[in-house]
Amino acid sequence: MTLDTAAIRDQMEAIKTEGIKFFTDLLHMEEDTDYWDIYDADHYWLRLEEASQKTSIELQSNLIQSTTAIANSMKYSTLLTEADSRDLGAWTKSVRASLRLRRYYYWDAEVLHDEGEVLGLRRAGQSDTTPVHPEKASSIFERDIINLLRLVDLLDIPSVLSTEEWRANPQATAEYEPGTAFVMMQIDPERPEIEDRYNAIKECFVQFGVNAVRADEIEHEDLITKKIIERIRVSEFLIADLTGERPSVYYEIGYAHALNRRVIMYRKKDVRLHFDLASYNCPEYTNVTDLKRKLMNRLEQITNRKPKSAGT
């Protein structure tokens, strides 16, 4: 993911320039008025030469790459909201449809009524099956590519997220505290095996200059839950051990995911992974030594740094 907004804008400008040229070369195409043509979504597309179709497909691919970068960057912008994310999706689909000589429509849910009597509900939906002549498609393309460029101009990524340090850790947020990690796991001081796992995790992070803490180590004068939520929000790294299948650990991971935070997850061999996290990467470990080995390798990949012990 790139947070270089200047580069994103350059990519969008290039798409705009190439797109205008693409449509200019098609303006000679005659417009059909046959009523039945509206049922053939690819009516105009199929009349393009193979080279023109290839150009369109390349532009569509470049568009998706650029708008994906915009979407990822919007998570860290203080000016843009969820409404802007919806606009991004609609404009991207509209530009993409225009490059295929189609029109994109979308509509919100609507309550159907007659003189105060509710008749039903029309669900929200979208469609891109209406063919449009290149001249009209060109107008739609220019309108919404400009909308996308204006959205890029509103990206205000904090400077900390443009540093190489952040690029080495995609988990970081605009407000993260460098060199910190929060550990989500079962807590029971009376069970030595749990403490051994926790100490192993802390030792691994120390090798990368990171201080890892667990909920029972957090100083607090308020509700401990509030402090846990704060640590999830601002810690540079988040790690969870799902061994023990604790509901509190699942809750904390769920909160992290709601913030679009990535969590490093592990579980002991044969521990059941509940449905909520079944689709996430959660490697198994056989013992503490195996856990340390896997976590060290993971941190080396994430931080793009060698552990301190490697230099001794």
**Least confident segment among 90-94, 104-108, 116-120:** 116-120
Which is more confidently placed, 156 or 80?
A: 80
Per-position b or e across 112-133, b if 16+ CB within 10 A of its CB = eeeeeeeeeeeeeeeebebbbb
Contact 164, 229 (CB under 8 A): no
Mean pLDDT lowest among 79-83, 107-111, 242-246: 107-111
Residue 94 has pLDDT above 90, yes or no: yes
pLDDT tens track for 211-251: 999 988 775 445 557 788 888 988 989 999 999 888 889 88
β-pairing verdict for 235-241 and 177-184: parallel
> 252-282, pLDDT tens digit by residue?
998 888 877 889 999 999 998 886 677 788 9
How many helices (H) and strands (E) the chain has is answered by 9, 9
For β-strands 211-214 and 117-122, DSSP reports them as unpaired
Confidence (pLDDT) at 131 = 92
Task: Give the span between the Cα atoms of 232 and 251, in whole angstroms.
Answer: 11
Rounded to an integer, what distance in angstroms lies between the CA atom of residue 101 and that of residue 26? Answer: 10
As a whole number of angstroms, the distance between CA 261 and CA 233 comes to 8
Mean pLDDT over residues 95-115, rounded? 82
Average pLDDT, the chain: 83
C-beta separation of 19 from 99 below 8 A: yes
Q: What confidence tens digit (pLDDT) does each residue in 9-41 have?
A: 899 999 999 999 999 999 888 877 655 555 688
Sequence-ordered list of residues with C-beta below 8 angstroms from that of 46, at least 6 positions apart, any chain: none
Q: Which of 61-70, 73-82, 101-110, 238-247 has the lowest mean pLDDT?
A: 73-82
Arithmetic mean of pLDDT, 46-61:
94
User: What local confidence, expressed as pLDDT, does residue 29 receive?
Assistant: 86
- 269, burial (CB in 10 Å: exposed 0-12, middle 13-18, buried 19+): exposed
Selected residue with higher pLDDT from 171 and 57: 57
Question: Which residues on neighbouring strands pair with residue 214, listed in sequence order?
Answer: 183
240: which strand partners? 184, 265
Where residue 114 falls among pLDDT bands split at 50, 70, 90? low
Q: What percent of the chain has pLDDT over 70?
A: 80
Both tokens of residue 237? Answer: 């790294």
Question: Tokens in use for 85?
Answer: 């994310």
Question: Which pTM was predicted?
Answer: 0.52
CB of 203 within 8 A of CB of 209? no
**pLDDT for the residue 16:** 96
Question: Please, what's the largest Cα pairwise distance for the chain?
Answer: 82
pLDDT digits (tens, 9 = 90+) for 150-187: 999 888 655 544 444 444 454 444 457 888 999 999 98
Give the pLDDT score at 170: 47
Q: What mean pLDDT comes out for the span 45-71?
A: 92
Residue 96 CA, distance from chain mean position: 20
Angle made by CA atoms 172, 280, 251, in degrees to the nearest 5: 70
Task: Determine the distance from the C-alpha atom of residue 209 to the mean position of all C-alpha atoms in its chain, rounded to a whole number.
Answer: 28
CA 123 to chain centre: 26
How far, in Å, CA of 102 to CA of 94, rounded? 9
Q: Which two tokens stand for residue 277?
A: 């996290």
Ordered by where they begin, the domains of the chain are: 5-157 (no CATH), 164-311 (3.40.50.450)
